[in-house]
Amino acid sequence: MRLNYGRTFLIGCAFLGVQALFAIYNAYMPIFLQAGRPDFTLAAPLPGGFGLGAGVTGLVMSLENLAALLILPVIGALSDVTAHRLGRRKPFLLIGAPITALAFMALPFLLGQPLWIFMLVTLVFVVFVDVIRTPIIAMMPDVTPSPLRSQANGIINLMGGLGAVLAFVIGGLLYRVAIPGPFLFGGIALLIGSALAIFLVPVLSTADLPRPPGGRLGAVRLALGGEEGGLLANVRAVLGERDRSTLLLLAAILCLFLNFSALTVFFTSFATVTLGVERGQEALLLAWFSLSIVIFAFPAGMVGTRIGRRRSLLAGAVLMGTTLVVIGLSTNLGLIRALLVLAGMGWSLIVVNTLPMVLDCAPQDGVERIGAYTGIYFIATQSAEVLGPTLLGVLLDLTGRDFRLIFAYAAAALLAGALLLLRVRRGEAVLDGRL
């Protein structure tokens, strides 16, 4: 049994595009929203900022994650029952990727326009990026056996980390030349990556899929309420487990991603306001974290295969939590860069092994559940992304906007996730239908 590296790489190209968008969005949107507020100082002026507070900014940043919480599970289950000549997942990319890219590239050109116009285009972006995310992720387990999914997810996350590094490095350089530069780069990266996945990844046959009565509306009803494989049926199965392992795992993932949302959404504000770095350098600083994810993503998959997924998650939580505490106490940029590399190593162990662990908690009864359980995984991650920026933004406002609070908050979330993982008993690789 060998992993198909070429096919996994092509799927990873689409994920690279998505992660490049999110890296740019999380790096610059908080600055766009807060610029113009008297206490939000920037090394270089940003014309057209909206002057919002940290709490409101956190709420706005959570809108994408709220949309994801509502959309990703439904799209995942719907893609399971989609019978199209392009396969289950590709039709969603074909429609969603161009709309996502165009809306994203338009955002910096709307600075200085009324806030409602800016937010309307932002809403278009956050809806359609969620239309394509679950199908992209679900393409990997579609073509990868259970024992190889940690390795395959390592490659997928390597590509995603590479997208973030390119976004921070190239985007940071482009931002110094022209504010729209990173957004144009991200939109083009998404279009290229999605095209490679659509046109070069072989289509899996959907001939065995039942054609639900009622056309597309019938497919939606089957995806949501089908007795076998429907989203609601799978959620009921998770809630009804005797050992609660899947539910505990999802709660642990929620806590682990609370940490990640804190680091990605407000780190550039910490770098700009607390450390006083120049415009464009805040994203380059965070690139050390993303570069580490690129380097260690595939080894993290190998570690998950060798020592087990739960142990890998625990090791990652300890490593990342320790380094973030030290970052919160430091002002030395050289030391912070080195610590961000270690934090990225820890995050690789976490993010590479969580999705395969959730997928292998699914009942092994022959029913197609990959999209549905990918959606359930996203319920946990996106709940964290919804709660994280808003909660941390409110805490920052209440404590005088001391951005060092980010790191104590993130470490506490990692500790809570590790404690929940200690009670999880399932989710390792499945062989021949047995754990």
CATH of the domain at 375: 1.20.1250.20
Domain residues for 54?
Answer: 5-204+218-421
pLDDT of residue 322 exceeding 50, the answer is yes
Residue 390 lies in a domain: yes
**Structural domain count of the chain:** 1
Residues comprising the chain, all counted: 435
Which has the closest alpha carbon to 152: 8, 19, 293, 344?
Answer: 8
Report d(CA 65, CA 61) in Å as an integer: 8
Least confident of 55-69, 139-153, 202-216: 202-216
pLDDT of residue 167 exceeding 50, the answer is yes
pLDDT tens per residue across span 256-292: 998 887 777 778 788 888 887 776 677 677 778 878 8
Report d(CA 121, CA 179) in Å as an integer: 17
Q: And the tokens for 122?
A: 């932002």
Residue 321 lies in a domain: yes
pLDDT tens per residue across span 396-433: 888 777 888 889 899 999 999 999 999 888 878 765 44
* 3-class DSSP assignment, residue 431: strand
Report d(CA 404, CA 166) in Å as an integer: 26
Residue 434 lies in a domain: no
- Residue 215 is predicted with a pLDDT of 47
Residue 316 lies in a domain: yes
Higher pLDDT, 206 or 113: 113
- Residue 42 is predicted with a pLDDT of 66
Residue 431 lies in a domain: no
Residue 406 lies in a domain: yes
Residue 237: which H helix or E strand, with range? helix 231-239
**Own/partner pairs for 170-174, CB < 8 Å, 24+ apart?**
171/20, 171/23, 171/24, 171/27, 171/283, 172/280, 172/281, 172/282, 172/283, 172/284, 172/287, 173/280
pLDDT of residue 46 exceeding 80, the answer is no
Report d(CA 107, CA 99) in Å as an integer: 13
Alpha helices in 178-230 (DSSP H): 181-200, 215-225
CA distances from 104 to 22, 181, 281 (A): 10, 12, 22
- Residue 433 is predicted with a pLDDT of 40
pLDDT of residue 222 exceeding 60, the answer is no
User: What is the pLDDT averaged over residues 307-322?
Assistant: 93
Location of structure tokens 């790191």: 407
Number of helices (H) and strands (E), helices first, in the chain? 14, 0
Residue 211 lies in a domain: no
Contacts of 213 (CB under 8 A, 6+ apart): none
pLDDT of residue 391 exceeding 80, the answer is yes
Q: What angle do CA 230, 231, 233 make, to 5 degrees?
A: 65
Q: Which residues pair with 431 in a beta bridge?
A: 434
- Residue 104 is predicted with a pLDDT of 96
Residue 432 lies in a domain: no
* 3-class DSSP assignment, residue 57: helix
User: What is the pLDDT averaged over residues 146-157?
Assistant: 83
- Residue 275 is predicted with a pLDDT of 81
Which has the closest alpha carbon to 25: 291, 278, 268?
Answer: 268
